[in-house]
Every structure is written in structure tokens, then in C-alpha cells.
Amino acid sequence: MKEKIRAFAAGIGINEVGFTEYGGQSAVVCLFPYFSEYRPGNLSVYAYSTDYHIIVRDKLKLICDFLLESGASRAEGFADIGPSIDKDLAYHAGLGFYGKNSLMINPRLGSYFFIGYVLTDMRLEPDSPVEGGCLGCGRCVAACPGNALENGFCEERCASAISQKKGELTADEAALLKKAGYVFGCDICQKVCPHNDAAFSPMPEFLQDRIFTVTEDMLDGLSNREFRQRYGRYAFAWRGKSVLVRNLKILNG
């Protein structure tokens, strides 16, 4: 049955699938590569196109339907909001290993992918963790603008996390955001990672309707409702207009 699931997943564009267990259920774990290219701008690559939650959710729904049609009585998909840590499931499903930047790295995809999974009552034999691991070169540690990786991962010093905080930023946080140069997210630790030297081509869905930079002109005069109507399908919009306006003022100030 596992090979039938993998074949079905490949037919809808998902080529990295592993299996593990969680809470007495089988977990079908899938990777969704999104890297296309670096473009001049102020957005992280993952925020260029349609919000990955939408794309992953729709793909997982198809897998759920396939499992139910194949004999499962329960199948539910999760993308970043499920009852378990997605990276931990991906590790135990044999889909990657942890890098020094705390990201999951797949031997073929590098770290530019999203993780989604389906929990089902169908009994599926778990896979084993992948052999090998991070090269340990330390490039991500040295390149991080907030020194967030020197002693494990420190979210308070991560530019990506800071770019998504609500409210006013401290002077140190604002300085770090400006140093990183991103209005939303950050790719610096991934750019220098040798595991990403041959990052896999993205799923076609991540090549559509892309935006590479957010400007004040794009946001000026928009109500919150208008902002959601225009940009609500992009990952950079999930924290709302005010966070982007604040970050732009810092970057441009």
C-alpha cells in the first residue's frame, strides 16, 4: 500500500513521501519543494507565491481522499498547524536530517521545502530515519545576521521571526531587521548552505503569480479589508498590513 500511496502522490506532483507513526496513527509525510530562484527584493523565497498552506492543504486533501477510497476510515491533512511538529515527523519518516540552522534538510531537495502530513487509521509500516546528516561546515552560523545559531537556535535573534512579530520592535530588533534586509522572512542561512547548491526545482504551483518585493506604494491607502482582498493569498500577508508597513519604515529609514 505504501508504494501505491507514493505512486498516487507522484501523480499529483509530490515526489518525496515517507511514513511514520504519531499518536497511534500512521502519518504520511510529504515534502513540497518551492525554491525557484533568488530575485532582487525584500521577501523570502517562500513568500514569493501563493501561501503554501493553501497549496499543501489542497494536495493533502487529494491524498486523504485516496486513502479513504482505499479502505481507511479516517484521514486528515495538516500543514504547519497540526498536532505534532512537522520537522520531527519528517525526520522519523526518513525524509531528512536537522541542519545547524534548525531547518530540516533533505538529501535531494536541500532545505527549500514545506512539510505536510496526513494522519490516518490505515496501518502503514514506518520508514527509518535517513542516514547521513548536516556537513557541519558552520556557514549558516557565521552568516546569520542576528547570531541566532551560535548555541542552538535562538528565535529572539532570528530575523525571520522578528519580521513577523506584531507591535513595536525594540531598537536591537529593528537594527537586526535592517541588517538582514527582508521585510518578511529571511533566507540568509539557506543561501550559504552547501546542501542547497543543487536545490530541487519547485512544484509548478510555486511559480505562479509571484511577488518579489513589497513597497510602500503597494500598501499606501489600502484598508485592512482591501489589503486582504489583494494580497491575502500570499504568505507575507498573514500577519496583516501593519507589520509590513512597520518593517518597510525600518528598512527604508
Active-site residues, by number, are: 80
Beta bridge pairs of residue 113: 33
State how far the Cα of 35 lies from the Cα of 54, in Å rounded to an integer. Answer: 17
Beta bridge pairs of residue 31: 16, 115
Coil vs helix vs strand at 153 = coil
Please state, in angstroms and as integers, the Cα–Cα distance from residue 20 to each residue in 59, 83, 232, 233, following that order.
Answer: 19, 14, 33, 31
Helix residue ranges, H only, the chain = 2-11, 52-69, 86-92, 139-143, 159-163, 171-180, 188-191, 216-219, 224-231, 241-252
Tell me the one-letter amino acid at 215: T
Residue 235, CA atoms < 13 Å, CB-side half-sphere: 26
State how far the Cα of 166 lies from the Cα of 228, in Å rounded to an integer. Answer: 17
How is residue 45 written as a grid cell? 523565497
Distance of CA 72 to the CA centre of its chain: 28
